[in-house]
C-alpha cells in the first residue's frame, strides 16, 4: 500500500486490507459497508461478467457532495457570511443517467442543481430536474435561439434556469426569444478574469486571452443594453471559471478578489445581483503528495470553501452590499473518486521480464545448430556477465560491453550471419546482463550506468492489459494525465517487476509508461508489479476516473464501452430483490479482449455459456449490493452503430 501511496490519494475511500486486497469504503469511513474489490470482481466473473469492468460507487459521490456542502456551511458560519452556498454538478463531467439522477435526488435536500454546457446537456438536465421544481440550473456553453427557448420555458416548469452569456452576441438572441415567449430571463455573465491559472493543462481557460467570457468593457455593454430595455432586474448572476484542477489556493484567492469587486461594481451599476458562480477548478490529489504540482493540490476542500467565502465576505463588507448566493460547479472533485476501472493483464510478451530482475543467464542449450558467429557472441556475453562486480566503473563497463555485443549481433543478423533463434538468444542474454547490473547496483548501493537509471528508462517488462486507453482513460493519452494505477490483490507480496502497460488497441500510443511517483516530482517511468503466475489472473485498477474519461472515450479500434457495475451501500431495497432493475440482464458479457467476449476469446461456445441464458446478476456482501449492471457494447453493437454513424 505504501509503494502506491493509497493513503495519500485514496483516503478515506480506498485502503489495502490485511489480506493484501484493495477495499472500498463508499461512505468514507471504515464501517460495515466495506467492499473488497477483488472479491467483488471474482463474484462478477462467476456470474459471467468479465473485466474490464468499470465499478461505480454512487455513495462515494454522495459522500463528496455532502462534504462539499458541509465545508461551505462551515465557512459560511465561520465568516458570519450572510448569504448561502448552493452547488451545481456539471453534466459535462459524466453523462451517465444513473450518476446524474443520483446527484439530483441526493443533492436535492441541499439545494444542489446542475450545470449544462450544450443543448443536449440542457435537455438531459431538464429531464432530470423536471421532478424537482426550484432546482438551480446554470446554462453555459454555446447558445442558439432553440437553446434559449428551452432554458426560458424550463422556468415555467419551476426550474431556476439561469442563462449565462458567454459572448455578447448571445444577448440579442436571448432578448428576442424572451420577448417572443413573454418569459423574463435570469441573466448571468461569464467574466474573463485577468487572474490566470498558470499550472497544469487548463490554464488557457483563464486570463485575458481565454476562449470564453466577456471582458470588462463588454460586461458594461451588457449592463447598458439591459438598462435600455428596462431589464436590469434580470441581470442577477456573475460567473467565472479559471480552469480545471487548480493546484494552488493562491490562484483561487486572487480570482475571488477580482470577481468579488466585479460583482460589487455590477451592484453599483444597478444590476439586481443575487448570485456569484465561481465555476469549477477545485482540484484533487492524484498522487497523494499534497503538493502544488499538476497531479496534486496543496489545499483542502475546507481551505477552498474558506477562501471563496472569506474573499467575498470581505468585499461585501467593504462595499456594504448584500452577500450573494454562492454557486460552484465542481465536477472533478465531486465525481472522480466514485469510479474504479478494473482490468486484467493478458500477458507479458517479454518472458524474461516476467520473473523480474533475477539476472541469471540461461544455461547454454545444445549448441549443435549454432553458427560460429552466434557461438562467439554468446560466449562474449557470458564473459561480460561474469565480470560484473559491485563498482560503478565495472557496472558501466559491463553495460557498454553488452550493448556493443548486441549491436554487433544485430549487424550480423542483417548480413545473414545469425539465425532468428540466435538473435532471440542475444536478446535474452542482453536483458539478463541488464537485470544483473541493476541487481548488483541496488544490493551494493552502487551508481548504475546512466542508461539503466530509473530516471532514464529502467529495463522494464511490458504488460499487455485488457483495456483501451482511448476508450477508458483518454486523458492518459491526450494530456498525459496520471491516474493512480495499482494491483488490487497480492498486496501482501513484494512486487518485483518494473513494468509498463500496453493496451489492446493496435495503436502504439495505446500505452501507459508514465506513472505517479509517490514521492512527488517527475513521473515514474515504470510501475512496480508482481510477476504473473501461470493460469492465475492478475488484476489492476485505475482509480479516480469518475469524470471526463467516459465522456471523452473513443471507439478507436471499435472496442466498445466496458461493462459497468453499480455498487451501493446498505441492503437491496425489498422491491428490488425480486426483480433486479433494468440493465442487470447479461445479454452480452463484453470483456473487451479485442472486442470479443471472453467466452468467445477462449473459444467457448456462447450458446452454452451462462451469459447466453440471460442470468441476473445478484451479488451482495455484508453492507453492500450490486444495484445494477450496464453491460458494455458488444462487437455487433459497435458495428451497427458505426454503420449508422459512418459515411453512406
Ligand atoms: N464549469 C465550467 C464552465 C467548465 O468548463 C468546467 C470544466 O472545465 C467545470 C465547470 C468543471 O470543472 P472541474 O471539473 O474542474 O470542477
Cis check: omega of the bond before 334, within 30 degrees of 0: no
In this prediction, residue 60 carries a pLDDT of: 97
Task: Name residue 87's beta-bridge partners.
Answer: 328
The closest alpha carbon to 281, from 203, 164, 209, 207, belongs to: 203
Kindly give the distance from the C-alpha atom of residue 335 to the centroid of ligand 1, in angstroms, as a whole number. Answer: 12
Does ligand 1 have an atom closer than 6 angstroms to the CB of 241?
yes
Please determine, for residue 8, whether its predicted confidence score (pLDDT) is greater than 90.
Answer: yes
Residue 594 has pLDDT above 90, yes or no: no
- Rounded-to-integer distance, Cα 622 and Cα 627, Å: 14
Whether the per-residue pLDDT at 473 is higher than 90: the answer is yes
49: Cβ contacts below 8 Å, ≥ 6 apart: 563, 565, 586, 589, 591, 611, 617, 629, 631
- Helix residue ranges per DSSP H, 387-462: 392-414, 420-443
Q: Could you give the angle at the alpha carbon of 517 between the alpha carbons of 515 and 521, nearest 5°?
A: 120
pLDDT of residue 199: 61
- Name the active-site residue from 62, 316, 506, 564: 506
Of all protein residues, whose CA lies closest to atom 4 belonging to ligand 1?
280
pLDDT, residue 639, reads: 79
Compute, in angstroms, the gap from residue 90 CA to the centroid of ligand 1: 7
Atom of ligand 1 nearest to the CA of 190: 3
Name the residue among 104, 123, 56 with its Cα closest to residue 583: 56
pLDDT tens digit sequence for 33-56: 899 999 999 999 999 899 999 999
Which domains does the chain show, CATH number per domain? 1-58+337-348+464-493+509-648 (2.40.37.10), 81-330 (3.20.20.10), 358-452 (1.20.58)
Q: What own/partner pairs with CB < 8 Å and gap ≥ 24 does 118-125 have?
A: 118/92, 118/142, 119/143, 119/144, 119/146, 119/147, 119/150, 121/91, 121/92, 121/95, 122/147, 122/150, 122/151, 123/150, 124/91, 124/95, 124/97, 124/100, 125/91, 125/100
From the CB of 332, is ligand 1 less than 6 Å away? Answer: yes
Q: Mutate which of 88, 92, 237, 245 to test ligand 1's pocket (most atoms within 8 Å of Cβ)?
A: 92
Give residue 336's pLDDT.
98
Which of 616, 532, 546, 545 minimizes the C-alpha distance to 581? 616
**Contact (CB, 8 A) for 638 and 555:** yes
Higher-pLDDT residue of 574, 368: 574
Residue 197 Cβ < 6 Å to ligand 1: no
Atom of ligand 1 nearest to the CA of 335: 14
Sheet of 35-36: strand order equals: 14-16, 22-24, 35-36
Q: What is the pLDDT of residue 645?
A: 65
- Condensed to tens digits (0 to 9), the pLDDT of residues 405-454 reads 999 999 999 999 999 989 989 998 998 899 899 889 888 989 989 888 76
For residue range 122-135, list pLDDT tens digits in order.
999 999 999 999 99
Please name the residue whose Cα sits nearest to atom 6 of ligand 1: 280
Summarize pLDDT for 504-541 with one digit per residue, the tens.
999 889 999 999 987 788 899 999 999 999 889 999 99
The predicted-structure confidence for 175-197, as pLDDT tens digits, reads as follows: 999 999 999 999 999 999 998 77
Active site residue 506: yes
Whether ligand 1 lies within 6 angstroms of the CB of 200 is answered as: no
Distance 139 CA to ligand 1 centre (A): 13
Mean pLDDT on 74-86 = 98
Say yes or no: CB of residue 113 within 6 Å of ligand 1: no
C-alpha of residue 141 to centroid of ligand 1, in Å: 11
Averaged confidence pLDDT in the chain: 88
CB distance 502 to 526 below 8 Å:
no
Q: Coil, strand, or helix at residue 287?
A: coil
Cα 118 to ligand 1 centroid, rounded to whole Å: 13
Q: How far is CA 415 from CA 159, 349, 395, 410, 418, in A?
A: 76, 27, 30, 9, 8
Binding site membership of 335 for ligand 1 (Cβ less than 6 Å): no
pTM, full prediction? 0.84
Question: Is 297's C-beta closer than 6 angstroms to any atom of ligand 1?
Answer: no
pLDDT per residue as tens digits for the range 213-261: 999 999 999 999 999 999 999 999 999 999 999 999 999 999 999 999 9
CA distance 56 to 545: 10
Among 566, 567, 590, CA closest to 471? 590
- Calpha distance 229→185 (Å, rounded): 13
Do the beta carbons of residue 465 and residue 503 sit within 8 Å?
Answer: yes
Q: How far is the CA of 217 from the centre of ligand 1 (A)?
A: 25
Burial class (CB in 10 A: 0-12, 13-18, 19+), 549: buried
The interface pTM score, or ipTM, of the predicted complex is 0.99
CA dihedral 152, 156, 158, 161 (to 10 degrees): 0
Q: Is 301 in the pocket of ligand 1 (CB under 6 A)?
A: no
Supply 21's cell numbers. 486486497
What local confidence, expressed as pLDDT, does residue 244 receive?
94
Amino acid at each position: 500500500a505504501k509503494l502506491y501511496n493509497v493513503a495519500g490519494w485514496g483516503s478515506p475511500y480506498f485502503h489495502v486490507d490485511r489480506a493484501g486486497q484493495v477495499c472500498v469504503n463508499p461512505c468514507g469511513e471504515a464501517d460495515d459497508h466495506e467492499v473488497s474489490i477483488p472479491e467483488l470482481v471474482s463474484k462478477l466473473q462467476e456470474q459471467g461478467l468479465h473485466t474490464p469492468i468499470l465499478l461505480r460507487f454512487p455513495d462515494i459521490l454522495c459522500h463528496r457532495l455532502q462534504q462539499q456542502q458541509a465545508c461551505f456551511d462551515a465557512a459560511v458560519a465561520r465568516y458570519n457570511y450572510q448569504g448561502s452556498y448552493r452547488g451545481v454538478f456539471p453534466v459535462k463531467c459524466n453523462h451517465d443517467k444513473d450518476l446524474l439522477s443520483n446527484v439530483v435526488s441526493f443533492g436535492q435536500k441541499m439545494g444542489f442543481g446542475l450545470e449544462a454546457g450544450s443543448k443536449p446537456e440542457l435537455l438531459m438536465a431538464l429531464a432530470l430536474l423536471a421532478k424537482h421544481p426550484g432546482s438551480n440550473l446554470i446554462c453555459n456553453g454555446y447558445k442558439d435561439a432553440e437553446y434559449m427557448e428551452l432554458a426560458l420555458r424550463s422556468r415555467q416548469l419551476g426550474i431556476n434556469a439561469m442563462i449565462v452569456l458567454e459572448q455578447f452576441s448571445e444577448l440579442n438572441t436571448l432578448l428576442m426569444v424572451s420577448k417572443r415567449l413573454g418569459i423574463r430571463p435570469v441573466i448571468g455573465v461569464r467574466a474573463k478574469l485577468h487572474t490566470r491559472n498558470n499550472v497544469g493543462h487548463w490554464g488557457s481557460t483563464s486570463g485575458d486571452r481565454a476562449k470564453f467570457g466577456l471582458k470588462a468593457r463588454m460586461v458594461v455593454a451588457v449592463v447598458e443594453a439591459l438598462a435600455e430595455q428596462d431589464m436590469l432586474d434580470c441581470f442577477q448572476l456573475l460567473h467565472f471559471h479559471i480552469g480545471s484542477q487548480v493546484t494552488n489556493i493562491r490562484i483561487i484567492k486572487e480570482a475571488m478578489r477580482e470577481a468579488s469587486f466585479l460583482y460589487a461594481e455590477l451592484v453599483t451599476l444597478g444590476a439586481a445581483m443575487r448570485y456569484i458562480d465561481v465555476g469549477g477548478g477545485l482540484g484533487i490529489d492524484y498522487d497523494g503528495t499534497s503538493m502544488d504540482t499538476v497531479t496534486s493540490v496543496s489545499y483542502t476542500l475546507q481551505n477552498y470553501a474558506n477562501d471563496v467565502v472569506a474573499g467575498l465576505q470581505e468585499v461585501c463588507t467593504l462595499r456594504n452590499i448584500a452577500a450573494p448566493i454562492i454557486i460552484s460547479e465542481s465536477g472533478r472533485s465531486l465525481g472522480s473518486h466514485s469510479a474504479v476501472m478494473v482490468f486484467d493483464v493478458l500477458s507479458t510478451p517479454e518472458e524474461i521480464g516476467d520473473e523480474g530482475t533475477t539476472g541469471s543467464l540461461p544455461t547454454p542449450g545444445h549448441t549443435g545448430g549454432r553458427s560460429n558467429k552466434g557461438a562467439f557472441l554468446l560466449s562474449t556475453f557470458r564473459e561480460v556477465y561474469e565480470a560484473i562486480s559491485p563498482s560503478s566503473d565495472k557496472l558501466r563497463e559491463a553495460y557498454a560491453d553488452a550493448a556493443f555485443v548486441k549491436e554487433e549481433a544485430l549487424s550480423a543478423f542483417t548480413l545473414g550471419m545469425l539465425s532468428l533463434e540466435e538473435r532471440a538468444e542475444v536478446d535474452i542474454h542482453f536483458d539478463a546482463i541488464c537485470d544483473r547490473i541493476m541487481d548488483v547496483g541496488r544490493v551494493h548501493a552502487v551508481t548504475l550506468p546512466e542508461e539503466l537509471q530509473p530516471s532514464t528508462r529502467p529495463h522494464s517488462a511490458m504488460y499487455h492489459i485488457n483495456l483501451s486507453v482511448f476508450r477508458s482513460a483518454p486523458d492518459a493519452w491526450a494530456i498525459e494525465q496520471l491516474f493512480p494505477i495499482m494491483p488490487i490483490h497480492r498486496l501482501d507480496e513484494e512486487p518485483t517487476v518494473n513494468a509498463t502497460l500496453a493496451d489492446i488497441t493496435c495503436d502504439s500510443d495505446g500505452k501507459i509508461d508514465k506513472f505517479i511517483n509517490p514521492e512527488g516530482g517527475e513521473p515514474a517511468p515504470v510501475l512496480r508489479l508482481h510477476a504473473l503466475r501461470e493460469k492465475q489472473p492478475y488484476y489492476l485498477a485505475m482509480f479516480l476516473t469518475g469524470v471526463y474519461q467516459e465522456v471523452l472515450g473513443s471507439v478507436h479500434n471499435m472496442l466498445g464501452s466496458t461493462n459497468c457495475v453499480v455498487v451501493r451501500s446498505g441492503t437491496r431495497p425489498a422491491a428490488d430483490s425480486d426483480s433486479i432493475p433494468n440493465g442487470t440482464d447479461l445479454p452480452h458479457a463484453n470483456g473487451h479482449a479485442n472486442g470479443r467476449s471472453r467466452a468467445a476469446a477462449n473459444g467457448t461456445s456462447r450458446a452454452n455459456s451462462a451469459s447466453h441464458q440471460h442470468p441476473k446478476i445478484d451479488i451482495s456482501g455484508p453492507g453492500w449490493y450490486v444495484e445494477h449492471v450496464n453491460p458494455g457494447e458488444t462487437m455487433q453493437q459497435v458495428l451497427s452503430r458505426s454503420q449508422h454513424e459512418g459515411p453512406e
